[in-house]
Structure 1
Amino acid sequence: MADSPAAEHSASESDVRALLHAAAPDLVELPLRLVAEGWDNAIWRLGDDLAVRIPRRDVAAPLIRHEQRALPVLGPWLAELGVLSPVPVVNGQPTSSFPWAWSVTPWFSGERALGLPREDNGAWAADLARALGAIHRPAPDDAPSNPFRGNPLATRDGGMQERLAQFRDQPALHDAWAAGLAAPLSTERVWIHGDVHPGNVLVRDTRIAALIDFGDVTAGDPAYDLAAHWLLFDRAGRTAFRDATRDRYDGTTWTRARAWAAYLTLVFLTQSDDLPEYREIGTSTAAELALPAST
């Protein structure tokens, strides 16, 4: 996406150790090093098997709470399929020196699907379909709320029309969005991951190792998650993905999923100038959506 915003509250190594000392003193002496710093969170590797997830901005703080609420529920469902997820092992709380919730989670080995060839990803397309199907169960009333994910397409139409106006030479994106808007609204309110894309899928030995980054987890239309099969796979992989759903989703859900794929395509194309690997997701997905008689 664009340049990462400045941290509103930076946590140094000594700060992180102080948080650990308060919440998990048995972990405080483990080796600790900063391994990633994104828009919302800094990730510190803790020993060989753990990670510390620390918000950088106030807007990201609720996302940690959402993971702490949802992952103890969703994680076991995924584990039944052999797919790992970052279920917190420590739910860190705000302190007098740090204002937000934070977590200690497992550390997973594996390669992100970001940049992997679409034709190779098809080997685990059915795995992802089954994993999302495991998540897509009725959600309780207190499931985390998210104004941007899993809601009716019409709620994003204003921003989408602005983006479509920049890409008048992409009729497939226009058609996909129009068809999705015209499709019946979802009657489902199920758990959804909310951010399934190649950067949030870890692969090992041609299988899914883990689904990560559940900060946008919420309840809503499963079509939002299903859009990922356009972001990740070629036509053969998409067929394998859909075959593995065993008629779980109806045709109108797939129509909305294609519309969400068009939406995400333009997000990646318009907000990834400094991250070419993410812009490539948009470029390749636009090409897939333009294929004739494509699934």
Structure 2
Amino acid sequence: MADAEKEITAELIRELLREHHPDLADRPLRLGARGWDNQLWRLGDDLAVRLPWATESADALLRKEYTWVPELAPGLPLRVPVPQRLGEPSERFPRPWLVTTWVPGEPADRAPATRGAEAADALAAFLTALHRPAPEGAPAGRGRGGPLADTAEYLDRELASAAELGLVRDPDAVRAVWEDAAAAPEWTGPNLWLHGDLHPANVVTSDGTFCGVIDFGDLFAGDPAFDLAAAWSLLPDGAADRFHAAYRPVPDAATLRRARGWAVLRALGALHVADAGARGRPGGKATWGPPAHAALRRLTAAAR
């Protein structure tokens, strides 16, 4: 949609609800957040409306969530946004959109976990429950969770750019972590369900620990190391070991090595998003910087 940010208004959403889901149309409505792919609007106290606005890929991601998340949500120990209604494209809004449950709390990029033991246990319990074999027909990772060696070109580009911008103090140490991970044996187990995008803005905190996980648009089946990488950016210092011990089955050495490599790649990407935010560029998120820097510091310190 051209100039979608201006076109999505409370009035438009109210009209869409009256047209598609009139029983929800009179609920209080207010803007919750503008994310990378979607805008999120609160609908009363317990629901939210998610509408794509910034990327073309968001349409397929919303449909993916509508298809799969209701099946996964009942077995998860943290709250997640469960799709309740699907809005089909129309003349008023030519893209699909969702009504989901609302997950209260604050995103971890703005309110990091401070209770390390509780947060480690909560994250381990969530991923243990999520990481179960996916059925045939489950979505693929679009390059995520595959062989780390295939990401060499991306690593070179992101690391060189980050070093040039002064975002990485010791690029050689960062590269060494990735190279060790890329040399680890590949995953030979079944394709497991993965969240696929566990960065701090997609994990919700309350009272110093994790209480929810949002945005399942990148949900896919693959190597659990991809999700396990989140420990280095989400948890306070010293809590990663407890997380790895609490996760089931306890990850072997090769899986942890691969997880470190994915953590490096995710941190480098987040640093560029944060730098764009600091410069006031569209899509930038300055709050992504501190957890990304912390992740690289922890990863390189552990490798010494």
* TM-score (structure 1 length as normaliser): 0.89
Three-state SS of the structure 2 residue aligned to 1:89 is strand
Q: CA deviation at 1:24?
A: 1.6
Report if the CA contact (8 A) 2:114-2:208 is conserved: no
Q: Residue 147 of structure 1: which of 138, 142, 162 is its match?
A: 142
Q: CA deviation at 1:193?
A: 0.2
Report if the CA contact (8 A) 1:145-1:218 is conserved: yes
CA distance in 1, matches of 2:256, 2:11: 49
1:155 counterpart letter in structure 2? D
CA distance in 2, matches of 1:117, 1:62: 30
- Quickly say closer, same or farther: Cα 1:272–1:206, change in 2 above 3 A: closer
Three-state SS of the structure 2 residue aligned to 1:90 is strand
Map 1:1-295; keep pairs closer than 5 Å. 7=4, 10-56=7-53, 57-78=55-76, 81=77, 83-116=78-111, 119-166=114-161, 167=163, 169-187=170-188, 188-273=190-275, 274=277, 275-292=285-302
Q: CA deviation at 1:108?
A: 2.1
CA distance in 2, matches of 1:164, 1:207: 31
* TM-score (structure 2 length as normaliser): 0.87
CA distance in 2, matches of 1:66, 1:155: 25
CA distance in 2, matches of 1:259, 1:6: 37
Q: CA deviation at 1:145?
A: 3.0
Q: Which runs of 5+ in 1 are unaligned?
A: none
2:228 counterpart letter in structure 1? L
Q: Which runs of 5+ in 2 are unaligned?
A: 164-168, 278-284
CA distance in 2, matches of 1:292, 1:218: 29
Three-state SS of the structure 1 residue aligned to 2:301 is coil
CA distance in 2, matches of 1:29, 1:116: 32
CA distance in 2, matches of 1:146, 1:95: 30
CA distance in 2, matches of 1:170, 1:201: 28
Percent identity, aligned pairs only, is: 41
Report if the CA contact (8 A) 1:122-1:234 is conserved: no
Count of residues paired in the alignment:
287
